[in-house]
């Protein structure tokens, strides 16, 4: 699985103008299931993100995790993270998991992360979503299992 995480002061996702998910201080997590991924990859990614020490401690150093801070997470499906731009100018997305697997693993990832403690809200798989955020730092990190 692939994820792009952004430390945020706040983030929200809307579909057709309706707010469907949001978080205050914490993470916006864009996630994509890849061909061959399973629940083990989703669980490993969730565990890594929950423990990743990218939040400031009392000294201002990135030394605290999402779990340590009690922050929340907004998880949004993002199949374009599978983009292959090695040939030409039009990205290919064949490395992404098929939609039925992608949705299952996206939801499994969100549930796995929530089981580790953070409050988790999600976008809507396959929908045209508008995502807005206030990046904190900015801190943006690419992860792959």
- Answer yes or no: 35 catalytic: no
- Answer yes or no: 79 catalytic: yes
DSSP β-bridge partners for residue 133: 11
Q: Residues 78, 109, 140, 145: which is the catalytic one?
A: 78
- Answer yes or no: 23 catalytic: no
Residue whose entry in the numeric block shows the structure tokens 């057709």? 16
Q: Terminus-to-terminus CA distance in the chain, angstroms?
A: 5
59: alpha, beta or left? (left if phi > 0; alpha if psi -120 to 50): alpha
Residue whose entry in the numeric block shows the structure tokens 């299952």? 104
DSSP string, 50-114: HH---EE-TTSSEEE-HHHHT-EEEEEE-GGGG-B-SSSSS-B-TTBPPHHHHHHHHHHHHHHHH
Q: Residues 55, 79, 109, 122: which is the catalytic one?
A: 79
State both tokens at 122. Answer: 């999600």
Residues tagged active-site:
78-80
């Amino acid at each position: 699985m692939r994820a792009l995480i952004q430390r945020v002061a706040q983030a929200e996702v809307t579909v057709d103008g309706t707010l469907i998910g949001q978080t205050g201080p914490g993470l916006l997590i864009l996630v994509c299931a890849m061909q061959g991924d399973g629940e083990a990859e989703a669980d490993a990614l969730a565990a890594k993100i929950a423990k990743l020490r990218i939040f400031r401690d009392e000294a201002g150093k990135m030394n605290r995790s999402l779990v340590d801070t009690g922050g929340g997470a907004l998880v949004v499906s993002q199949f374009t993270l599978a983009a292959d731009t090695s040939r030409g100018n039009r990205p290919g997305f064949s490395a992404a998991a098929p939609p039925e697997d992608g949705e299952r693993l996206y939801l499994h990832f969100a549930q796995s992360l929530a089981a580790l403690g953070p409050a988790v809200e999600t976008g809507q798989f396959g929908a045209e979503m508008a995502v807005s955020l206030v990046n904190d730092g900015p801190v943006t990190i690419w992860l792959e299992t």
